Structures are given as C-alpha cells and as structure tokens.
Amino acid sequence: MSSTLDIIRRAAEPHGLNLVAATPVARYDDIVKEISRASAIDPLARSIVVIGNGGGALWNALKSHAARNPGWWDRENPLDDFTRDVVERDVAAPLRALGLRCTTVYPFMSSGRTLSFIELGKVAGIAGPSILGVTVHPVYGPWIAFRAALLLDEDLDSPGEALGFDPCPRCTVRTCIPACPASAVSVESGWDIPKCLTHRVEVEQDCTPRCHARAGCVIGPEHRYPDDELAYHQMRALRSMRPYYEAHIKPKASRGS
C-alpha cells in the first residue's frame, strides 16, 4: 500500500499536488447516489486515491510551466489542462507501467460520469465541510482544491489528516460571516447561493479580486492563494454564475426588459 502511495506522492508533489489520500471504493460508494459511484465508472476498481492541492504551490508550478510553453495562458482552461497533463504523464502512466489498472477521473470533467469530490474528500480525509460552501483542511484552511482521483485495482486505505474535520460548529471567531459583503454566510444555513450569486453578478467589483468570506476564514491564512490565482478563480466562477443567475434568479420582469 505505502509503495503505491509513495509513488503517487513523489510524482505529484513537485507540481504542487501536495494532498494525497486513499479510501476503499465501497466506503465511498456507500454514501453517494448511484450516478456518482466509482463502481459505475470502473467496476474493477477497489480503491480511490484522491489528489488535491493546498496553498499556492500548484499555481506557482502552473506559472513556471506556462513560462516554458508560450501560449499556454491562451487556452480555455490552462489550470485544468496543466493538471490533466501532470496526472496523466507523471502519475497515472508510471502506475500503468507497473501493471496497475488506473482510471483517472477529474472534477472538471464536462461529459460522462464523474465522482462527488466533496463527499470523496470527506471520506478520504482530504477536507471537511464548512459554512462557506467550500471544504477546509486543518492546515491549509479553505485554500485547497480537488484536482483528480485515481481508481485502482489495489486495496488502499490511507485517509488524510482531515478525516472527521468539521471546524465551523466549534469556531467562536467566525470572521468569515461579517466579511461577506452580501451577508450570504451564516452558521444556521451556511452558504446562501442565490444571495451570493445575485451580489456577484449585480455588484461585480465587490468580489472580483477574491471571496471575502473565504479570505476571512481563521484557518490557514498563511496559505491563501496568490492574488493572481484568486482573481483567476473568481473570474471563472463568475463566468459560470451568470447563466445560472439569468435562468433561475434574475427577476422575471428584468429578464424581459
């Protein structure tokens, strides 16, 4: 078990993919709906290795890669493409060369089945829940993301340090709540998506450079993403929010005008 995970960690970490944990397929499949089950993607898989990033190391690796590859920033999804290249070439290919069956799954897949990475992150101990609408890590706080999962025909069970981590109910500071200019975060209901989306779309400049509530979290502030990475993620989030806002939230009278 340790040999396979060691191979994955050694291959992933130089590229900023510094969070790796494993869980049996059955443990994950038992808590999700059929459409999100790993066994529906690869019936022969016995374990899932989750790969993520904490802090700004992945972003720095991407910037170095883009500097060596002119035009990379012109791609539609430069970060996703970089992640896929690294995982396929440096992580999955060596495992397959050793004779392991390895199916790669990404949270940014736009077609076909994928996994519920939030539930997978919890059961694998990569990250716990928060009232911010993002998951949190004991060290990196909300400055983490899921990047890939490997479905392997090997029995692995090696949860990360966030197993059972649920910090918000015990937090007494909660600076994230007043930090949100839209008042879209509360202890009782968590992240108010319609309120957040409405503010983001109608008052863009407030949240263009960063999510203020996320930046207000007291866990791992020293690992906050660099400013250019924050702006990148906020821009892409807004791009996906606008169509949803227009279709589901914008007042009907405004839609027809």
- Tens of pLDDT, residue by residue over 42-64, are 999 999 999 999 999 999 999 99
User: Strand locations in 126-244, DSSP E?
Assistant: 144-152, 185-186, 190-191
Mean pLDDT of 65-71: 98
Counted domains in the chain: 2
Query: What are φ and ψ of residue 152, in 5° steps?
Result: -120, 150
Whether pTM exceeds 0.85: yes
At 154, list the tokens: 């090997």
Dihedral of the CA atoms 112, 75, 64, 95 (nearest 10)?
20
Buried residues in 132-149 as b, exposed as e (16+ CB within 10 A): bbbbbbbbbbbbbbbbbb
Q: What is the CATH number of the domain that holds 64?
A: 3.40.109
- For the cut 60, the answer to whether the pLDDT of residue 130 exceeds it is yes
Which pLDDT does position 252 carry in this prediction?
Answer: 59
- For the cut 70, the answer to whether the pLDDT of residue 254 exceeds it is no
pLDDT tens digits for range 164-216: 999 999 999 999 999 999 999 999 999 999 999 999 888 877 788 889 999 99
40 part of a folded domain: yes
Which pLDDT does position 206 carry in this prediction?
Answer: 79
Which pLDDT does position 2 carry in this prediction?
Answer: 61
Same-domain pairing of 26 and 145 = yes
Same-domain pairing of 128 and 181 = no
Same-domain pairing of 127 and 219 = no
Query: Tokens 């500097």 correspond to what residue?
Result: 67
- CA nearest neighbour of 53 among 147, 118, 186, 138: 147
Same-domain pairing of 18 and 116 = yes
Which residues are registered as beta bridge partners of 93?
Answer: none
Gyration radius of the chain's alpha carbons: 19
Which pLDDT does position 62 carry in this prediction?
Answer: 98
- CA nearest neighbour of 124 among 146, 103, 102: 146
Same-domain pairing of 89 and 211 = no
